[in-house]
Amino acid sequence: MEQQVLGAWSWTYIEGVGRMIFAADHTVKVGFPPEDKDGRKIDDSEFQIVQAGTWRLEGVMLVTETDNRPLRDLMQHLSPSEVPRFEKKTERKKIVSIDDKTMKFDDGSSLDRVHR
């Protein structure tokens, strides 16, 4: 199942499309498109990465451990007075199905594949 997780996945939120990028070295990045770009049509490198960390599979559980250091670094340059507090989080989501198009979780949420 690990090979199926690798690549870029997206989800839709009120203001656009976010992206999670799972790498073979077990790093993960979470980002959002710039306000003037359509997140469905841009390269991973154009996303503003706001969280980064690691990922692993424990059976069918996808475990991500991320922090907001990339966002803090970005804000330090853009608006030093608005740098958010350091936050670290661990998420565990049970994968109920995964194919070339969608990764579905037991809580009803899902990610859509962008590319491998």
Domain extents in the chain: 2-115
**Residues contacting residue 65 through CB under 8 Å, at least 6 positions apart:** 53, 54, 55, 88, 89, 90
Place of tokens 């907001």: 68
- The residue type at 77: H
2-115: CATH architecture: Beta Barrel (2.40)
Q: Output the pLDDT for position 4.
A: 96
- Give Rg (Cα) of the chain: 14
> Does 110 score more than 90 pLDDT?
yes
Render pLDDT for 58-75 as a digit per residue (tens, 0 to 9): 999 999 999 999 999 989
Distance CA 82, CA 114 (A): 32
Q: Taking the complete model, does pTM exceed 0.85, yes or no?
A: yes
pLDDT of residue 43: 80
What are 2-60's pLDDT values in tens digits?
Answer: 999 999 999 988 877 899 999 999 999 999 887 766 666 678 888 899 999 999 999 99
